[in-house]
Amino acid sequence: MNPKVDNGRKIVICICGMAGSGKSTAAKRLAQHYGLKYFSGGDALKAVAAEMGYNVSGEGWWETEEGMRFLKEREKNLEIDRRVDQKQLEWARMGGVIFDSWAVPWLLEGGFKVWLEASEDVRARRIAERDNLSFEDALRFLREKEARTKMIYKRLYGFTLGEDFTPFHMVIDVNFLSKDEVFEALRIAIDHLVLKRRD
C-alpha cells in the first residue's frame, strides 16, 4: 500500500518532546514517509530571530550563547512566541501537516499528538554528540533553555511543558529506542489510529 496520505485529507500530526528527544528527526522522517508538509516551531522562532538581527546559522543554535540571548529576549517580549504560535495554527488549519512543536499540541483542537519521553541525561548526551559539545556544556545549556522555555509557556498559556501530558494521545519512552525503532512505533500508531489502516 502506498504510504502517502491523500492530499484531500485534513491530517494534522504533532510530535513533541524536550530538546534531544528526537522529535525533529522523527517528524521529518514521518513527513517524508506520508507526503505531509513539515513545520518546526523552533525553525519558525529562528526565522523571527534572524529578522531581529541574530545570526542563527549552524547546528544546535539554541544551545549557543546567542541562542540563549534570544531566549532571554523572548522572556521579555512574549509577543514573539504568540506571533509564531498563531502562524503555526494557520498552517495546521490547512491540514496535511506534521509539526515538531512545543506549543501546538496545547493550542490546537484536534489532530494526533505524541510526546517522546527521554531522560535529561540521555538528551544531554545526544545534544553533546550532535553539536560537538562536552556533556557538561550540553547539560548546562539544556537546563537553562528548558527552565526559561517552561516559564515562557507557563506565562503565555498556563501549561507546564514536559510535565503536563493532557493533550497527548500517546507518550512513548524513547530512552532505549533507536531512531528507526521510534519511527516504526510512530508509523504503526499513525497507520492504525489516524489513517485507520489494517495490515
Burial class, 150, CB count within 10 angstroms (exposed 0-12 / middle 13-18 / buried 19+): middle
For the chain, which residues make up each domain, given as ranges? Answer: 12-194
What's residue 1's pLDDT? 41
The top-level CATH class assigned to 12-194 is alpha beta
- 134-157: pLDDT as tens digits: 999 999 999 998 999 999 999 999
- 28-41: pLDDT as tens digits: 999 999 999 999 98
